[in-house]
Amino acid sequence: MPDERLAAFRQILETAAGPDDILVSRFIAGQTAVGLAQQLLEIIRAWRTEAPGMTGAGLALALATARASPRPRPPQVVVSGPMSASVPARLTSGVAVEVIRSATTSLLIASFAAHGARDVVREVARAVDRGVQVDLLLEESTQATAAFAALPRGVRIWHRAEAVGVLHAKLIVADRHTALLGSANLTDRALSDNIELGVVLRDPHVVEPLIEHFHWLLTPENNVMRRA
């Protein structure tokens, strides 16, 4: 709901005795923006059903509180290869560097293959220099470790502990707040030229369970991943 319409609605609510107040009905009937009247009717319906004894001033305060609460940023589409105007998107190469750069305490990166990707390797090295703990989960059969050979000491590299299956995930997680996941490996072609698709998640409520899953995979007792 637009901020100015919400402010006007809250002003009406301040003097409303209840959900059936005539001023509220008139305000809703006067809305011409597509879908806005229906949104307001849903609020009134919930008010009438869930808290009919609450005053309009109480509902206005509840709406103001909800509006002031931090809201997670929506997922962002990222692509490699040709870009169209159909979907707002950013290139994988730039977003990967941005996510790595945002890490302040921890960085978890998983990739099936790795080759070149100098900008990514450079940003990982800078993250190590500023004290970020880096975990690289790489597929051993693709010799992906070689791409990160120049990284400073302290980077933890992990491979699959068992011969069954491969590590095929592609993931970059900064701290517990931002995750880039998609189809692109950490190769020059995948980050820029191939047709790849991914998404950036910036909602900690979504990112935290994801990182907890990978921490479980790295726990030695679970015998899923091993240090290289």
Could you give the count of Cα atoms lying within 13 Å of 153 in the half-sphere of its Cβ? 0
Helix (H, G, I), strand (E, B) or coil at 28: helix
pLDDT per position as a tens digit, 91-107 = 999 999 999 999 999 99
- This prediction has a pTM of 0.70
Strand partners, 91: 79
pLDDT per position as a tens digit, 57-75 = 999 998 888 877 666 778 8
Could you give the count of Cα atoms lying within 13 Å of 158 in the half-sphere of its Cβ? 24
CATH node for 76-227:
3.30.870.10
Q: Where in the chain is the domain with CATH 3.30.870.10?
A: 76-227
DSSP code per residue over 93-149 = HHHHHHHHHT-SSEEEEEES-EE--HHHHHHHHHHHHTT-EEEEEE-GGGTGGGGGT
The model's confidence at residue 36, banded by pLDDT at 50, 70 and 90, is: confident
What distance in Å separates the CA atoms of residue 80 and residue 192, rounded to the nearest whole number? Answer: 5
